[in-house]
Amino acid sequence: MWLVIAVLVLAIGFVAFLEIRGIPSYPTTTLSLKIESTPEKVANGEKIAAMLCNGCHLSTQTNKVTGRLMLDLPKEFGTIHSFNITQDKEYGIGKYSDAELVYLLRTGIKRDGSFNPVMPKFAKLSDYDIESIVSYLHSDRPEVQANNTPNVECDYSLLSKFLCLVAFKPSEYPDKPIANPDTTNLLAYGKYLCVDLYACYACHSADFKTLDYVNPEKSGGFFGGGNHLLDLEGRLVLSANITPDEETGIGNWSLERFDRALRSGLVQDGPALRYPMMPHARLSDLEVKAIYSYLKTVPKLKNKVERHLES
């Protein structure tokens, strides 16, 4: 009896602790850096953002990156809104310095020190790619121009707060410059694209809850699919197994078949791939080939994913 009460008191204490602690804060950056923008960087950043950032940040109401309600994130994480990342000084990211933006993208720590548990952390991205993203955010492209849509604060669930205590942590800021990947080494380049840049593993591993942004290969069910994702109407769509398992993954897929799925969203004998799998039409032939080559080398996982669920 006393034991039950003691356990209960501890449990209530722990919940209260999580509620009060909330989403943690960390020291802010003291970096100083100034990014030299070039037309090449802006174009590269635009391509990266189209595949990586705008899916979460673009609003169909404003046609700008003013943020939106993320109906497509599992509700167990809370009610989450992405923020206004237009150049607006008041409502957007106009107050962020270059260094603060780079620090947030690499570590997940925002300008005010609070942690962003939702976004992938880009600790291993090349300096050139990181600078390209920032140059794009500061460019004259229409979707990043200032807009005064206010942010809606995120209402994180207890589970999210708990995960921030045990699993979701900032990534280390790199201690030396990071060069662009060697594009003649297909495997290394493919890994860079799938893991460090486009974060394919975040959706294609078993579950957001067991992702390891710091050591991606340690994420539960790495590339084995089955993660519970939602489309924009909140219907369940499971991610596909894209390990080289012949039976349940893409082990038997030719490069052409893979290319069609990845860039056009078209699959053999089946309906087109559904949101949130976007056609990655901007990938170059070389990028597709590198991604394909790398995925052929990840550990095979036998995991049959039900594709078309009734909901």
- Positions in the binding site for ligand HEC (CB under 6 A): 49, 52-53, 56-57, 70, 80, 82-83, 85, 93, 104-105, 110-111, 116, 118-119, 133, 154, 194, 198, 200, 203-204, 229, 237, 239-240, 242, 250, 258, 261-262, 267, 273-274, 276-277, 280, 291, 307
Nearer to ligand HEC, 18 or 81 (CB): 81
Cβ proximity of 205 and 219 under 8 Å: yes
At closest approach, how far in Å is the CB of 215 from ligand HEC? 19
Question: Among the residues of the chain, which ranges form H helices?
Answer: 2-21, 39-52, 54-57, 98-107, 127-137, 158-166, 186-191, 200-204, 255-259, 285-295
Residue 10 or 272 having the CB closest to ligand HEC: 272
Instruction: Return d(Cα 171, Cα 125) in angstroms, integer.
Output: 12
Q: Smaller CB distance to ligand HEC: residue 2 or 142?
A: 142
83 or 168: CB nearest ligand HEC = 83
Distance separating alpha carbons of residues 174 and 224, to the nearest angstrom: 29
- What is the closest distance, in whole angstroms, from the C-beta atom of residue 12 to ligand HEC in the complex? 27
Q: Could you tell me the smallest distance in angstroms from the CB atom of residue 47 to ligand HEC?
A: 12
Q: Measure the CA–CA gap between 244 and 276, rounded to whole angstroms.
A: 22
Q: What is the phi/psi pair of residue 213, to 5°?
A: -70, -25
First-to-last CA distance in the chain? 43
d(CA 289, CA 309): 31
Residue 199 C-beta: closest distance to ligand HEC, Å: 6
The closest of 174, 296, 187 to 242, measured between CA atoms, is 296
Q: How far is the CB of 49 from ligand HEC (least distance, A)?
A: 6
Alpha-carbon distances of 205 from 35, 94, 163, 189, 254, rounded to whole Å: 34, 35, 17, 20, 22
Beta carbon of residue 11, minimum distance to ligand HEC (angstroms, whole number): 27
Smallest distance from ligand HEC to CB 6, Å = 36
**Given the complex with ligand HEC, which of 42 and 229 has the nearer CB atom?**
229
